[in-house]
Amino acid sequence: MKGILLLSHGELAQGLMNSVSFFFGNDIEQLKALTLKKDDDASKFGERIKEAVEEINTGDGVVIFVDLFGGTPCNQSAYVLDEGIEIVTGLNLPLLMECLVMRTQDDFNVDELVSRGKESISNYGSLLRQKRDERRKRRAKREE
């Protein structure tokens, strides 16, 4: 099973780890979060990333999620990029939950995971307005 490492500026990574515990329980195997604080040294943060990857990699690799493309967590994670290590930007709760489910499958595919993550983003207000308008049209049609 792939390990999952969450990296963020500030407490986002830890907060998401806490949030998934609502759905998956408190003892999620091979899941770790590291947060970069304003006064942290980038290279020392990189060392923490390397240690975390070694800790949670049981041989199946690690998916590293970072909050922001091009930020320090993203850039420092590049130093551990190797066979079996994947780096995904745009860390969010639906993407993390999808990964927790998918990583148990033999045919786990990070590109598919990213595709599903993109599908989880929507303009909910627009969807609700569209449904409301459809109901109004059906109601008007019945009244004719």
Tens digits of residue pLDDT in 69-125: 999 999 999 999 999 999 999 999 999 999 999 998 878 899 999 998 888 888 999
Where are any strands of DSSP class E within 21-142?
A: 31-36, 62-66, 85-89
Whole-angstrom Cα distance, residue 126 to residue 122?
A: 9
Residue range 124-128: average pLDDT? 93
Longest dimension (CA), the chain: 71
For a pLDDT cut of 90, what percent of the chain falls above it? Answer: 87
> pTM of the prediction?
0.88
Q: What is the pLDDT of residue 41?
A: 96
Q: What is the pLDDT of residue 50?
A: 97
Q: What is the pLDDT of residue 131?
A: 94
